[in-house]
Chains A and B, each alone.
Chain A
Amino acid sequence: MLILTCPCCGVTADETELAGGGEAHVRRAGPGASESEVEDYLFMRENPRGPHFERWRHAYGCGKWFLAARDTATLEVFGTYPAQTTEPPEHIRAAITERHPGWRWRDFS
């Protein structure tokens, strides 16, 4: 059972209290975007075997959205952080790098 701490209300909740919202930090393609940019935004996903960033909603709690960093190969949770963030914060990256030295993801390296 996956257990995450909601950074909005501080409650440590198990999966049955949460709703998954897919990959985090996906940037919306703006007006004038090309077909392949829209395709990337709507359909293409990182789907990594390793560190991954996700949106979650504390559905049966405070109801707020937040983000989580998890390892899809081990199910380890690196931490959670507010949804009002466009890239993973420093302490999350540090936690991941400690486990996976030399790790980098997209342009956030």
Chain B
Amino acid sequence: MSTRRYSAFALAREALRDHLGWQRAWAKASPKPRYDVIIVGAGGHGLATAYYLGKNFGIRNVAVLEKGWLGGGNTGRNTTIIRSNYLQDPSAAIYEKSRALYETLSQELNYNVMFSPRGVMMLAQTEHEVRGYKRTAHANSIQGVTTEFISPERVKELVPIIELKGPRYPVLGALWQARGGTARHDAVAWGYARACSDMGMDIIQNCEVTGIRSEGGQVTVVETSKGEIGCGKLGLVVAGHSGVLAQKAGFRLPIESLALQALVSEPIKPCMDVVVMANTVHGYMSQSDKGEMVIGGGTDAFNNYTQRGSFHHIEETVRALVETFPMISRLKMLRQWGGIVDMTGDRSPIISKTPVDGIFVNCGWGTGGFKAIPGSGWAMAELMAKGHSPLSAAFGMERFREGRFIDESVAAGVAH
């Protein structure tokens, strides 16, 4: 008998028989001639979209096409910060829905995504930030998102390794979300993939979409490196490559693709059990369960598809963090990498119908979409199934023409 469900009992049973009973987490699939729905991009957002299409709407004749490997895009490259303390109402709604779904995601997927609501702190290091974060805290209390503005003394209590006095930018307080935190990024992708596969969906890796065809303004076929595949509806969920695919489908997007980098240190003993973001000086840090300090900063200045960034950005981030946390000055860094993030003009995502009937886009999450994976998938599935979703309504791409921006660029200098 093989083991499908993960549990303490299953673990014990497999331990007693040399772990021979575990099954592959998801089935290997090759494309069928046609699907009701094709999702392009097996990152978190694409897989979550497929999952909620099946779970909430019973749409299971679905394929997820991925040009590389599952979770190998930004989903597997991010620094996993989860928070919902945004300023605007539509953002708070979708990010808080997402955060709330993370609370029970491991049970729901029967896959340990290691959601750790350890608390997220955004330091206020200028008077502007103090005012800005107090405003956000007030907005959050009206939106039903639990956050508070805390004093420097409380910051020091929560993060003993922090240097409050500066010298460049003293810590004047912080916006604190106690139920924000981190999760394991790979596990989120893998957990959704396993659940999709269980529902009979095909997850097809090494399958690049190279063309999109439509007839009479309605999408009909995608051309891929594994041949042509017919579809009723098509979801483009490809982050940094959204502009490239939109062009293949015949429309443009208000998106620019930039490199964003991150790095981790050698593992050290536990020293910081919350996430700290310092947006004025452009750096943020948390400690992984393995003990590595996980560090990130801001994006590069120019369009880039190479998943490599410029070194001076890393230098800038590290310099800022050494000032904030003097004890890390002699830490050795283990790895550094980059991802291509999809930036919109108002720093908010696009979850939208497009000029081509049957094609939907979910993109523009930029530097901060890991936290949004469950909520975004939930909303995108509803939009694709029913043509409308209350959670995504404000995020349509027509908002740029109509001047209805969801401006989060002021609220979050570094938007992770």
**Interface residues, chain A, with chain B CB atoms under 8 Å away:** 1-2, 15-16, 19-20, 22-23, 35-36, 38-40, 42-49, 52, 54, 70, 72-75
Measured between beta carbons, the chain B residues less than 8 angstroms from A42 are 345, 400
Q: How far is the CB of B277 from chain A (nearest CB, A)?
A: 24
Report the nearest A residue to B301, measured CB to CB.
Answer: A20
Which listed residue (A1, A22, A39) contacts B401, Cβ 8 A?
A39
Q: How far is the CB of A104 from chain B (nearest CB, A)?
A: 13
Q: A54 and B306: CB pair below 8 A?
A: no
Q: B311 and A45: CB pair below 8 A?
A: no
Q: A35 and B302: CB pair below 8 A?
A: no
Identify which of B255, B308, B311, B401 gathers the most chain A CB atoms within 10 Å of its CB.
B401
Q: A39 and B301: CB pair below 8 A?
A: no
Please, what's the 1-or-0 string for B206-229, where 1 marks a CB less than 8 Å from any CB in chain A? 000000000000000000000000
Q: B401 and A47: CB pair below 8 A?
A: no
Which listed residue (A2, A52, A70) contacts B310, Cβ 8 A?
A2
Q: B243 and A48: CB pair below 8 A?
A: yes
Measured between beta carbons, the chain B residues less than 8 angstroms from A2 are 302, 310
Please, what's the 1-or-0 string for B243-263, where 1 marks a CB less than 8 Å from any CB in chain A? 110010000111111000000
Interface size class of B (residues with CB under 8 A): 20 to 34
Q: Which of B299-341 contact A (CB under 8 A)?
A: 301-306, 308, 310-312
B388 interface residue per 8 A CB criterion: no
State in angstroms the CA–CA spacing of A49 and B256 once bound together. 11
Q: 6 tightest A-B contacts by CB?
A: A20-B301, A43-B254, A47-B243, A39-B401, A43-B400, A44-B252
Q: How far is the CB of B71 from chain A (nearest CB, A)?
A: 21
Q: A15 and B257: CB pair below 8 A?
A: no
Q: How far is the CB of B400 from chain A (nearest CB, A)?
A: 4
Q: B303 and A72: CB pair below 8 A?
A: yes
Measured between beta carbons, the chain B residues less than 8 angstroms from A48 are 243-244, 247, 303
Q: B255 and A47: CB pair below 8 A?
A: yes
Which listed residue (B306, B345, B400, B401) contacts A73, Cβ 8 A?
B306
Identify which of A22, A38, A46, A47 gathers the most chain B CB atoms within 10 Å of its CB.
A47
Q: B257 and A47: CB pair below 8 A?
A: yes
Measured between beta carbons, the chain B residues less than 8 angstroms from A39 are 254, 400-401
Measured between beta carbons, the chain B residues less than 8 angstroms from A40 are 252
Which listed residue (A43, A47, A70, A75) contacts B345, Cβ 8 A?
A43
B97 interface residue per 8 A CB criterion: no
Decide yes or no: A54 and B302 within 8 Å by CB, A43-B345, A44-B254 being known contacts. Answer: yes
Q: A15 and B254: CB pair below 8 A?
A: no
Decide yes or no: A44 and B253 within 8 Å by CB, A1-B310, A35-B401 being known contacts. Answer: yes
B55 interface residue per 8 A CB criterion: no
Q: How far is the CB of B395 from chain A (nearest CB, A)?
A: 14
A sample of 30 cross-chain residue pairs with beta-carbon separation below 8 angstroms, ordered by A number, consists of A1-B312, A16-B312, A19-B301, A20-B302, A35-B401, A35-B402, A36-B401, A38-B401, A42-B400, A44-B254, A45-B254, A45-B256, A46-B243, A47-B244, A47-B255, A47-B257, A47-B303, A48-B243, A48-B247, A48-B303, A49-B244, A49-B257, A54-B303, A72-B303, A72-B304, A72-B306, A73-B305, A73-B306, A74-B306, A75-B308
Report the nearest B residue to A54, measured CB to CB.
Answer: B302
Which listed residue (B255, B302, B306) contacts A45, Cβ 8 A?
B255
Measured between beta carbons, the chain A residues less than 8 angstroms from B244 are 47-49
Report the nearest A residue to B254, measured CB to CB.
Answer: A43
State in angstroms the CA–CA spacing of A15 and B303 once bound together. 13
B241 interface residue per 8 A CB criterion: yes
State in angstroms the CA–CA spacing of A23 and B255 once bound together. 12
Q: How far is the CB of A80 from chain B (nearest CB, A)?
A: 13
Q: How far is the CB of A71 from chain B (nearest CB, A)?
A: 9
Q: B312 and A72: CB pair below 8 A?
A: no
State in angstroms the CA–CA spacing of A29 and B310 once bound together. 34
Q: How far is the CB of B403 from chain A (nearest CB, A)?
A: 9
Q: How far is the CB of B300 from chain A (nearest CB, A)?
A: 8
Q: Which of B363-416 contact A (CB under 8 A)?
A: 400-402
State in angstroms the CA–CA spacing of A2 and B308 once bound together. 12
Q: How far is the CB of B12 from chain A (nearest CB, A)?
A: 50
